[in-house]
Amino acid sequence: MNKKGLSLIELIACTVIIGILASTALPVSKNYVLRQKEEALRENLREMRKAIDYFRDRKIASQPGLQEEEYYPESLQQLVETKCLRKIPLDPFTAKSDWKTKSSTDPFNANETDQRNVFDVYSATDQKDKKGVPYSEW
């Protein structure tokens, strides 16, 4: 006898196998997207922190004798204006340039900044990584 098609059992077996493969691929793709966002956040924070340090080093070299807080930029936009940073990158978790900043005169664990300058930058999101650490503490 010549078989030219799939039996019902073969069709069900293929459907089950495809379903299992699809159900394992979805969590993997979600983890991949999260890892990509985390890597983008790390890179953006590194880039902006380097720009803050570069701004400070240039200002120390050109204007020695200022108060410590005067060596830091007044805003992230000032980093762009002084060509220390090409543009303010987007926060991958908020999809905006809505970074939070800390001033050099802020208390160590302050939630609010006095906005005198930009000493550090962090994410505005309230999400946490897999270990439970808020992205705003990176």
pLDDT band at 49 (very low <50, low <70, confident <90, very high): very high
Q: Are the C-beta atoms of residues 73 and 104 closer than 8 Å to each other?
A: no
Q: Count other C-beta atoms under 10 Å from residue 58's C-beta.
A: 14
Express each pLDDT in 53-104 by its tens digit: 999 999 999 888 888 888 999 999 999 999 999 999 999 999 999 999 998 8
Question: Which residue is listed with tokens 């309230």?
Answer: 126
User: So what's the pLDDT on residue 136?
Assistant: 87
CA triple 60-69-96, angle to 5 deg? 100
- Identify the weakest region by mean pLDDT among 46-50, 85-89, 108-112: 108-112
Q: In terms of residue numbers, what domain contains 35?
A: 10-137
Closest CA to 104 of 69, 55, 57, 53: 69
pLDDT band at 116 (very low <50, low <70, confident <90, very high): confident
Do the domain assignments include residue 5?
Answer: no
Q: Are the C-beta atoms of residues 128 and 81 closer than 8 Å to each other?
A: no
Q: Count other C-beta atoms under 10 Å from residue 45's C-beta.
A: 19
The backbone torsions φ and ψ at residue 4, rounded to the nearest 5 degrees and listed phi first, read -120, 15
Q: Are the C-beta atoms of residues 48 and 76 closer than 8 Å to each other?
A: yes
- What distance, in Å, lies between the first and last C-alpha atoms of the chain? 68
Tell me what the pLDDT averaged over the chain comes to.
88
> How many separate domains does the chain show?
1
Do the domain assignments include residue 72?
Answer: yes
User: So what's the pLDDT on residue 109?
Assistant: 76
User: So what's the pLDDT on residue 66?
Assistant: 85
pLDDT band at 1 (very low <50, low <70, confident <90, very high): low
User: So what's the pLDDT on residue 16?
Assistant: 92
User: So what's the pLDDT on residue 39?
Assistant: 96
Residue length of the chain: 138
With a cut of 80, say whether residue 28 has pLDDT above it.
Answer: no
With a cut of 60, say whether residue 21 has pLDDT above it.
Answer: yes
The backbone torsions φ and ψ at residue 100, rounded to the nearest 5 degrees and listed phi first, read -95, 150
Do the domain assignments include residue 3?
Answer: no
